Amino acid sequence: MSVERMSGTKNVLLFPRRPPVLVSLEALYDLRPDVREVHLAAEAYGLDLPAWNVRDEADRAMAEYIVNHVRPEPGMARRREPDLLLLPFLKRAIEACRQAKSSGIVACEVFRRLELGRQGRALPEAGLEDQAFHQGEETARLFVAAHIASEEALGIARAVDFAKRGELWEPLDLRKEEALLFQRPVGQGVKLQSGHDQPPDGPGCNVI
């Protein structure tokens, strides 16, 4: 996405109208921030790092919800209802990723101007250093939020996929995934425990 300055100003940016994004897992994979950038940004600004098991917890919670609330009989409803459960989480994650990306673009521009001033290649701008810090911090927060929302949506998508295929859900097992990859024998799934009455609740530039 290109960014232009408003004529006659130094710090007003013009963004083109954002094109619509198809709400899909493919779009989410394209937009979600790299987990390494998320961790670097969070550490740079003293933010709490995202939990390592967000995706697994969302996966399990949604699988249990489906067991308790989605009709088990094969048919159109069985295939459609899980997708409807996934949709709001997918929309939220994609929007969170777009906000993080937009904030990262602004942060990049502010840091670029700051660096030019430090190098004597541009006139110093009053307050620019504080602006750079706050924009970077906000971008880092948005990166963390986008990462968490993406992990939740991807976990929920896994549970939904099991339900649509009519297969017994099982937690992600990295050893089993490796065994499947190399065509070794694998174990059986596990049954879910009932009890969840509600579905789980739910920087384009290095900002450090």
Q: Which amino acid is at 25?
A: L
Q: What's the CA gap between 31 and 168, in Å, rounded?
A: 30
Q: In this predicted structure, what is the pLDDT of residue 181?
A: 64
pLDDT digits (tens, 9 = 90+) for 44-94: 999 999 999 999 999 999 999 999 998 887 777 777 888 999 999 999 999
Collapsing DSSP states into helix, strand and coil, what is residue 5?
strand
Name the strand (E) or helix (H) holding 14: strand 13-14
Q: In this predicted structure, what is the pLDDT of residue 79?
A: 75
Asked whether the beta carbons of 152 and 55 are under 8 A apart, the reply is yes
Q: In this predicted structure, what is the pLDDT of residue 115?
A: 86
Higher pLDDT, 189 or 145: 145
Asked whether the beta carbons of 141 and 99 are under 8 A apart, the reply is no
Higher pLDDT, 190 or 41: 41
pLDDT digits (tens, 9 = 90+) for 128-176: 889 999 999 999 999 999 999 999 999 999 999 999 888 889 988 777 7
Q: What is the pTM of this model?
A: 0.74
Q: In this predicted structure, what is the pLDDT of residue 165?
A: 87
Q: What mean pLDDT is reported for the chain?
A: 81
Higher pLDDT, 9 or 71: 71
Q: What is the DSSP letter of 195?
A: -
* 4 φ/ψ angles, rounded to the nearest 5 degrees: -125, 155
pLDDT digits (tens, 9 = 90+) for 107-136: 999 999 888 888 877 777 778 889 999 999
